[in-house]
Amino acid sequence: MTSKLQTTLANPDSKEKLQASGVELSNMTPSEFGKLLQEDITRWAKIVKQSGASLD
């Protein structure tokens, strides 16, 4: 899947359409993406907890 995605992102038309819709493109491996996702979860969990927000 990663190689197909990279091929799609190499297409200037696809890249332009994605960027026009607000997508921030970044070329990273599945491992790097997993690390980024975990860091985001940790950061946002702390922010939500400090804010006192709940799903009530």
Task: Decide if 21 is inside a domain.
Answer: yes
Mean pLDDT computed over every residue of the chain: 90
Mean pLDDT, range 3-30, rounded to an integer: 88
- Residue-wise over 31-44: b if at least 16 C-beta within 10 A, else e? eeeeeeeeeeeeee
Whole-number Å distance between alpha carbons of 10 and 36: 22
Task: Decide if 56 is inside a domain.
Answer: no
Task: Decide if 12 is inside a domain.
Answer: yes
Task: Decide if 11 is inside a domain.
Answer: yes
Task: Give the predicted TM-score (pTM) of the model.
Answer: 0.60
pLDDT single digits (tens) 20-43? 999 988 878 889 999 999 999 999
Q: Which pLDDT score is estimated for 17?
A: 93
| The total number of structural domains that make up the chain | 1
Whole-number Å distance between alpha carbons of 32 and 36: 6
Task: Decide if 34 is inside a domain.
Answer: yes
No. of helices (H) and no. of strands (E), the chain: 3, 0
Residue 20: give the domain boundaries: 2-51
